[in-house]
Amino acid sequence: MAEFIKGKELCRDFFHQIAQPCIARHFPRLRYSSGLLGYGSDILGYDDPVSTDHMWGPRFYLFLQEEDEGLQPQLEEIFSREFPYQFRGYSVHFSPPDPNDAGVRHAEPLSQGRVNPLVFFYTVDSYLDFYLGTHQLEQLTSIQWLSLSEHRLLALSLAEFYTDQLHMAQRLEKIRYYPQDVWLYLLASNWYLAAEEQAFVKRCGSTGDELGSALACSRIADRLMRLGFLYCKRYAPYSKWFGRAFQELPLPQDLKEAVKTAVLAGSTQQREQPLVYAQQRMAHLHNQLGLTEPVSEEIVPYFGRDISVIFADRIAQAIRRKLVGTPLEKAPLIGTLSQVPNFTNLYEDVGRRPQVEQLYR
């Protein structure tokens, strides 16, 4: 078996050493963009040997101008005829799309005949319509931003282009990160959602419901982690890579450790203190950034009860006041559907974006 190599390096070398010279020989005047973007753990740099079992290997996207779309069959024919069977120990030949597995393709060994490489052909607009549901990135409204998959925004923000004569990278700069009002709305939402259950960790435990306490803790921890991504102005990946990416954020280590300790705690007594401490540290980060008037970071009893909180709802309210006069002023503080791991059928289906947008109107 070939020695594992990160997908980004493999695809970059494959294009420059194999595909680009091939295109230059046959279509020296062709203007195009090419690169690696969209799906895949390799886009995030998280791929490992397990990742190689499907849709992974020497591959690239080829973006053509609309007037050159008719060249796709010729390009496919040339690639099939001239690409090698292997590159750096990995097969260049892939199976046909599996209709029973969402069109997934698998690398297959080949020693004779034509190669069927993993090359994706689009125009810039058609790809954006396919992947995001719109190519009009300059005209996105605040509500439309909230209907987009955050993981897909992340994947596009990490795009690597090998050649970019169609200036696709410049197009993608429009979605490098959320605009100010959307960012503030998401901050307010996650503080509000954390506040909704801030007393439940201790309250559930006090009734003997350790399971309920642990679940409430994990939900608050998830919202705190999302606040970490937001304050660092980085898109969050979907659940498979969420914890790993959080650990890589430039946040205080004690904050990260407090979240981890709370989630892994075996009892209410062990989880309450680190969880409320993590909220306090996140509130301190909020105040350091000066986004709103200073908000109290003090840990206090919840309306006189033996429950420790920082009243996270006060931070949500302070941020929401910054939304007055924006299209999101009256939107319910629910965040985005990307925050709900099991809702992939909604937020990953670009055809449902108009329905999702209605949640915020």
CA atoms within a 13 Å half-sphere pointing along the CA-CB vector of 305: 12
**Looking at the whole model, is its pTM more than 0.85?**
yes
| Contact by Cβ (8 Å): 157, 172 | yes
For the stretch 131-141, what's the b/e string if a residue is b when 16 or more beta carbons lie within 10 angstroms of its beta carbon? bbbbbeeeebe
From CA 211, how far away is CA 260, in angstroms rounded? Answer: 17
Residue 32 three-state SS: strand
Digit-coded pLDDT (tens) for 252-269: 999 999 999 999 999 999
From CA 234, how far away is CA 68, in angstroms rounded? Answer: 36
Q: Name residues of the chain where pLDDT drops below 70.
A: 1
Neighbours of 11 (CB within 10 A): 28
What pLDDT score does 347 carry? 82
For 111-173, the DSSP string reads SSS----EEEEE-HHHHHHHHTS-S-GGG--HHHHHTS-HHHHHHHHT-EEEEETT-HHHHHG
In one letter, which amino acid is 11? C
